[in-house]
Structure 1
Amino acid sequence: MSELHHECGVAAVYHFGQEKNSPVAMPYGRGRVSRLIPRMLLDIQNRGQLAAGMTTYKPFDKDLLLTHKRVGTVSEVFRMSRKSKYQKLMDKHEGPAAIGHVRYATCGRDDPSYAQPFERSHLEKRKWFAFGFNGQLANYPELRNEIRSQGDFHLARETDTETLMHLMSQEIAECSDINPRDLLSNVSQRLDGAYNITFINARGTMFVSRDPNGFRPLCYAVRDGFFAAASESVALTNIGFDPEEVQDLDPGCAAIIEDGEFRIERYAPAVRVSHCFFEWIYFANVCSRLDSQSVYLSRKFLGEELAMQEQESTVNAIVVPVPDTAKAAAEGMAFSLGVPCLEGLMRHRALGRTFIESEDREAKARMKYIPLPEVLRGKRVFLVDDTIVRSTTMRTLVDQIRTKGGAAEVHIRVACPPIMAPCFYGIDMPDVNDLFAPKFLAQKQLITPEVEAEMARHFNADSLRYLPVRSIAKAVNKDPDQLCQACLTGDYPTPAGERLYNLSIENVGVDGRAGRRLVEEDVEPVLPPARL
């Protein structure tokens, strides 16, 4: 799963109450709550490590909005390892409201100009705004070409974030008294894809909004005139909100603070709720709750599902997770099977961000994970991973566990169904031709034990087993119709996503592989009892 990256994460704070300081916001005080943003971004650093930034509202300064953003991790961008420099930066960016952002690029180059929030300066306060964007617009190429065709307009970056900024600017310019709900309503009619937004302008108006499909998570909390929002709940509970105070923002809704008042408004109907299942099984912080469902318990359940379909002998067996997000699934599997769950692979912590500079995926994997022969030698190893994307990392891991770790057997267990199609809604997922599973599965073909055996041979593993699609909805406690599982089934919830998928399979070979497959609900597999 180290081969997948998320688009980004967002955060916002606002001490809008006039009468008293909120206990949650203390010890910062009303005018200094912006200092909470770096702490919140650290809690959602898992969503993007390429760049980070914040924009502060400073109502009594010359710079009514002040933005700081850089390429780097949160601690690097905000100089958190240098106390004096960090304090100086925080003093400069003090204010009663702020928005923050962490980024990994699914489109756009890795340079500072792509870091967020994006700020649009203007002489008129209502036209001066900054915003952070979490997601990906599936119809970005069409929007970009439409803007460029309109006479004297110019887009300086190859990113859907700049396109979104242009669309919002147009709406604000055309109506002198447009409110946040109408702004979002008008803009959303032109958008297809995932788009959570945090927004603040020079008047002090803030909103955070979730797209009508609800692809990406977004939650908020309010207490005593203090408001906070973030992509994940852990960022809110870690600054002092009680878990029961944290609410999920409904798809198609916005939390708005305007003229010192807080409200929730719907700006678009939620026609088809399509929560991304990957949020629970991989991307989100394991401490978070997304749309009322625990991330940890979801992953643990997937491991229990793996155990229920186990057929191999568990004599002299251990369960080993691929660090770090597969740990909960491995624990659930091991507990259900009654075998030890041990860390036979360790992540090389010292490599840091410089590790991503290499383009050799196999070399990356060999550097990133260290097998422990003291744990692995002579064991029947059940290697649990979140999913398999391109297969390079898994092949390297199996080889290392055998050669350096001395394992007697390696059985791959994947706490996810096969990835069959790209994502166009905010996950940096390869095209069909670069994915592992479509090379073995023809269009609309069910995965069978024979196919899994062929996959295992590719990895030089003793066996391989995936979870069926039906396990996902059970694990996240959602109706399948409320989930986006397009990367598993090829069923995209928006028209632009469907068009992009059709384009992506045009280059597939004549054998018909790398196409859409049936979900397992059509056939209930009958498994033999596990051998002890």
Structure 2
Amino acid sequence: MSDELHHECGVVAVYHLEGDEVSPLCPVQGPDEVSRLMPRMLLDVQNRGQLSTGMTSYNPDRDQLLKTYRKLGTVSEAFRLNHKAKAESIMRNYAGRAAIGHVRYATCGEDDVTYAQPFERHHLQKHKWFSFAFNGQLANYAALRDKLLAEDDHHLTRQSDTEIIMHEISRELSGDRRPSLIEIMAAVSTRFDGAYSLALLNAQGEMLIARDPLGVKPMCYAIEGPLLAAASESVALLNLGFQPESIRSLEAGEAITVVDNKVSIERFTERRRTAHCFFEWIYFANVASTMDDRGVYLSRKALGEELARMETIPKGDDLIVVPVPDTSKAAADAMAYSLGVPSVEGLIRNRYAGRTFIEGGAGRVAKAAAKYTPLPEVLRGKRVLLVEDSIVRSTTMRVLLDRIREVGGAKEIHVRVACPPIIAPCFYGIDMSRIRELFAPQFVEKGLPSEEMFALMAAELGADSLRYLPVESISRAVGKPADQLCRACITGDYPTPWGQKLYQVALDNYHNHAEADAERTYEAAATTAG
């Protein structure tokens, strides 16, 4: 993806139920150390966040019933996986028969360890002592924040919707009330506008795994024998050894609970329309994952076939298809196969250049240049169909086009985007909250016919031609009706009231040239959007 987008995070959970049976998927140390599965599961959702890593385990046989470990960095860095003795020490110290884990990329809050998840809330009473991790974003974060601060003598220590969620859950546990986990989830969901999947573990050994009422964010689970596991993506469960047929997606508005050693799956809100994020299939999710009964690979393959049906460039021995690594490869291969044109690796991604502290406009350019290496022996003298999964800010695409032409020696470059133009921000957990950040809106608002608009875009980027997929191609490729998908970033039609309010704020700021560099729309817009 040009100017790679970042998802907020990934969530995993595992629970070994009590009894004589031991799961064959469990480590050799036995059910009381099922938490040892955490690093492996988190590695499989590492694509969803590389800023911080954390886990909380539950062990009834230690004084610290819940114990939380959080570090900045990747899973390998945080759990010291390259140092056997140190990794073993961490696993032994945090051993438990239940655990939740998290990987994070910041769309809200700062880049320091205090924002790392899980968040743990200590309390003298065990049912009020809990830890939780979540993936997503509350569109009404600022309104909830301001309401909390206006009540009594409240204080918030972080600019994060994670802390808001923690306080809202705590509110349900206040006083002498003893609500069930499902009742807590039902109550807080009426106050949350946005997208979330979460895992919660309390000091009584109870676990909750929930998916938002619209199913915007994914959550998969599997139960085999005494072992329950859940993750943002199915690949984390498949790689643990669960059989594919036992892995399912949690339905929108459903929650799994473990209470008194029994697993239940219940609804915490009434059934309504779904709004699954289509970006999961075309970009965010691991290509080996399946979500809501649709494989990611098959969706990307279908997008490539959609591109092929639209293609008008004459064939010839000098025509090649080149994917922008890595998420575009399935679409590029399918497009090339349908056209009868070679799909070749003309760009090699340097996997060790992605984590950098270079920031700002010049930093983005330098980072993009360092990330991809064109191959002159593949590209020289060729007409290139360059396949990208989406274009967001366009900085990376501009750099790629320059390098493919200057270093690679390509004769022509025709950009093909396996996604419609991104015209609107995301307020549900993708790191783009201001219209000014986006490449397409300035062209779309001209109201030109598609071919004229694409020609202007191509000229701006430095491509010989450019073509996007139409909006209707998304539901065909994902295999879901349009009204079951969140397509807000390509249509401006948001599935929640606060999403739509924030979009209007973003539009007003964009047209009034009032978008502040320091604030994301959802962090500053409580009063404006109200």
Aligned partner (choices 438, 441, 446) of residue 435 of structure 1: 438
Find the counterpart in structure 1 of residue 325 from structure 2: 323
Give distance in 1, aligned partners of 2:449 and 2:258.
Answer: 50
Structure 1 segment 13-412 matched on structure 2, within 5 A: 13-315=14-316, 316-354=318-356, 360-412=363-415
| 2:101 maps to amino acid | G
Offset from partner CA, 1:159-197 (integer Å, 9 cap, x none)? 000000000011012453210110001111100000211
Find the counterpart in structure 1 of residue 508 from structure 2: 506
Find the counterpart in structure 1 of residue 459 from structure 2: 457
Give distance in 1, aligned partners of 2:198 and 2:175.
Answer: 21
| 2:393 maps to amino acid | R
| 2:234 maps to amino acid | S
Give distance in 1, aligned partners of 2:42 and 2:460.
Answer: 40
Give distance in 2, aligned partners of 1:23 and 1:70.
Answer: 30
SS of the residue 1:456 aligns to: helix
Structure 1 segment 418-497 matched on structure 2, within 5 A: 418-442=421-445, 445=447, 448-497=450-499
1:430 Cα shift?
A: 4.3
1:95 Cα shift?
A: 0.8
Gaps of 5+ in 1: 512-532
Distance 1:209 1:402, change over 3 A: same
| 2:264 maps to amino acid | R
Give distance in 1, aligned partners of 2:214 and 2:293.
Answer: 17
Offset from partner CA, 1:184-237 (integer Å, 9 cap, x none)? 011111000002110000000001000001001101011111100000000001
Give distance in 2, aligned partners of 1:174 and 1:257.
Answer: 23
Offset from partner CA, 1:222-264 (integer Å, 9 cap, x none)? 1111100000000001001011000110010100000000010
RMSD of Structure 2 on Structure 1 (CA): 1.4
Give distance in 2, aligned partners of 1:110 and 1:477.
Answer: 37
Find the counterpart in structure 1 of residue 12 from structure 2: 11
CA contact (8 A) 1:221 1:236 kept: yes
| 2:11 maps to amino acid | V
SS of the residue 2:37 aligns to: helix
Find the counterpart in structure 2 of residue 522 from structure 1: none
Find the counterpart in structure 2 of residue 526 from structure 1: none
TM-score (norm 2): 0.94
CA contact (8 A) 1:17 1:224 kept: no
Give distance in 2, aligned partners of 1:32 and 1:259.
Answer: 19
Residue identity (%): 57
CA contact (8 A) 1:319 1:340 kept: yes
SS of the residue 1:407 aligns to: coil
CA contact (8 A) 2:427 2:433 kept: no
Deviation beyond 4 Å, 4+ runs, structure 1: 355-359
| 2:389 maps to amino acid | D
Offset from partner CA, 1:301-354 (integer Å, 9 cap, x none)? 101110100011121111111111001010011111111111111111232523
SS of the residue 1:378 aligns to: coil
Give distance in 2, aligned partners of 1:279 and 1:27.
Answer: 34
SS of the residue 2:67 aligns to: strand
CA contact (8 A) 1:441 1:447 kept: no
1:358 Cα shift?
A: 6.4
Please, which moves more after superposition, 251-260 or 2-11? 2-11
| 1:302 maps to amino acid | L
Give distance in 2, aligned partners of 1:40 and 1:14.
Answer: 13
1:19 Cα shift?
A: 2.4
CA contact (8 A) 2:379 2:410 kept: yes
1:508 Cα shift?
A: 3.1
Give distance in 2, aligned partners of 1:352 and 1:410.
Answer: 25
SS of the residue 2:182 aligns to: helix
CA contact (8 A) 2:322 2:343 kept: yes
Give distance in 2, aligned partners of 1:510 and 1:144.
Answer: 26
| 1:406 maps to amino acid | G
Offset from partner CA, 1:360-395 (integer Å, 9 cap, x none)? 211111111111101100000010001111111111
Aligned length, in residue pairs: 510
Distance 1:227 1:82, change over 3 A: same
| 1:187 maps to amino acid | V
| 2:45 maps to amino acid | I
| 2:466 maps to amino acid | L
1:510 Cα shift?
A: 8.0
Give distance in 1, aligned partners of 2:159 and 2:365.
Answer: 29
1:71 Cα shift?
A: 0.8
Give distance in 2, aligned partners of 1:396 and 1:175.
Answer: 60
| 1:377 maps to amino acid | R
Distance 1:446 1:80, change over 3 A: farther
SS of the residue 1:354 aligns to: coil
1:25 Cα shift?
A: 2.0
1:417 Cα shift?
A: 0.2
SS of the residue 2:174 aligns to: helix
Give distance in 1, aligned partners of 2:405 and 2:354.
Answer: 26
1:460 Cα shift?
A: 1.4
Give distance in 2, aligned partners of 1:295 and 1:364.
Answer: 28
CA contact (8 A) 1:11 1:230 kept: yes
Offset from partner CA, 1:373-422 (integer Å, 9 cap, x none)? 01100000010001111111111101100000000000000000000000
1:446 Cα shift?
A: 6.7
1:93 Cα shift?
A: 0.9
| 1:440 maps to amino acid | F
Give distance in 1, aligned partners of 2:473 and 2:157.
Answer: 44
SS of the residue 2:137 aligns to: strand
Give distance in 2, aligned partners of 1:254 and 1:60.
Answer: 27
| 1:479 maps to amino acid | P
CA contact (8 A) 2:354 2:367 kept: no
Give distance in 2, aligned partners of 1:428 and 1:510.
Answer: 22
CA contact (8 A) 1:133 1:198 kept: yes
CA contact (8 A) 1:6 1:426 kept: yes
Distance 1:355 1:329, change over 3 A: farther
SS of the residue 2:198 aligns to: strand
CA contact (8 A) 1:55 1:100 kept: yes
Distance 1:447 1:168, change over 3 A: farther
